[in-house]
Amino acid sequence: MTTSQIDPTVYQAARETAVLTDRSDLGVLIFSGETRFDLLNRMSTQKILSMDKGEGTATILTTDIGRIIDRLRLYATNSTLYALTSENNGDNIARYLMRFVFFQDDFRIQDVSNDTVIFGVYGPQARQKVVEAGFPDEELPLHHWRQVKFGEITAYLHRTDPIHGAGYFVMGEEKDREALWQRLLDASLVVADADAFNYLRIEAGLPRYGRELTSDYIPLEANLWDDVSFSKGCYIGQEIIARMESRGRLAKKLVQLTADGLLEAGSNLQANGKNAGTVTSTAVGPHGTIGLGYVKTSVLDSENELMVGDTAVHVQS
């Protein structure tokens, strides 16, 4: 049974203060060259014509039929773009993008995943905690970032997708892992392991690569509307995504679930004995079994009861 557990103490901290978790499995790519914005703009869903140092955005690479390849978080410096890929996916994305570099492009990729450490700080007091750790007390827009020096250590604070109110990435060099981790621990952050983070991101409705972010789904079905521009020029997969947006009707939608018993990711959801969707992630915690899954919009509109075998499943509003 593919479920995960969360310690009640960690859960309380996530709801009341903030938690610290290691996100260093995310891939880190550096894009350089004069056409870096142009290439990413023609390859992905977001309008990426330029960004100033310290700014950032999220965008999605899609197939020619609008299906998800990966979600990238982009951060601009004066001369480069840093990209966070999904877990352990940096090399795949680098090879994919290089297939579309034309002879006239000035575009280069460097994979620094193994040299970079990434920590996540999540919770209602996440901002307060990173300030206590020495980062600037500034209200950063989503995906924007700032650099800070701690003696010989250079670190970066990035605003990221929130869990229970707020979310930040603290990034630095792998050689400074222990020093950065200790600095954050000294701010009285509670450590959330991989299972705890999985529970928290499911509860927050955040899709994850290999679960909700796969080639079975398009970004709009995954509730990633903010990562899609509907006013930009052509990009791979645009026709399908634009058509679904203009019709205002999706075949299925990612929703949060609870269940009366244990669930297994990959299980088929049924309504009135007919296929209604798929469970994509599950976890077990203080409030029982929770999950994420894609459910047909016709079933959501009808409010028919969902089942996995003999277990009742409920859609959270």
CB 308 within 8 A of CB 265: no
Q: 290-311: per-residue pLDDT in tens?
A: 999 999 999 999 978 999 999 9
CB 40 within 8 A of CB 80: no
66/63 Cα distance (integer angstroms):
5
Residue 197 pLDDT: 96
Residue among 134, 138, 157 at smallest CA distance from 146: 157
Residue 1 pLDDT: 41
Could you read off the pLDDT tens digit of each residue along the chain, which spans 317 residues?
444 578 889 999 999 999 999 999 999 999 999 999 999 999 999 999 999 999 999 999 999 999 999 999 999 999 999 999 999 999 999 999 999 999 999 999 999 999 999 999 999 999 999 999 999 999 999 999 999 999 999 999 999 999 999 999 999 999 999 999 999 999 999 999 999 999 999 999 999 999 999 999 999 999 999 999 999 989 999 999 999 998 888 999 999 999 999 999 999 999 999 999 999 999 998 889 999 999 999 999 997 899 999 999 999 97
94/84 Cα distance (integer angstroms):
11
Residue 238 pLDDT: 96
121/215 Cα distance (integer angstroms):
29
In angstroms, the first-to-last Cα distance of the chain is 26
106/32 Cα distance (integer angstroms):
8
Q: Which fold has domain 18-188?
A: Gyrase A; domain 2 (3.30.1360)
Residue 2 pLDDT: 43
10/71 Cα distance (integer angstroms):
28
User: Taking the domains of the chain in order of start, what are their residue ranges?
Assistant: 18-188
Q: 111-134: per-residue pLDDT in tens?
A: 999 999 999 999 999 999 999 999
- Report the share of the chain in percent with pLDDT over 90: 93
Burial of residue 102 (number of CB atoms within 10 Å: 0-12, 13-18, 19+): exposed
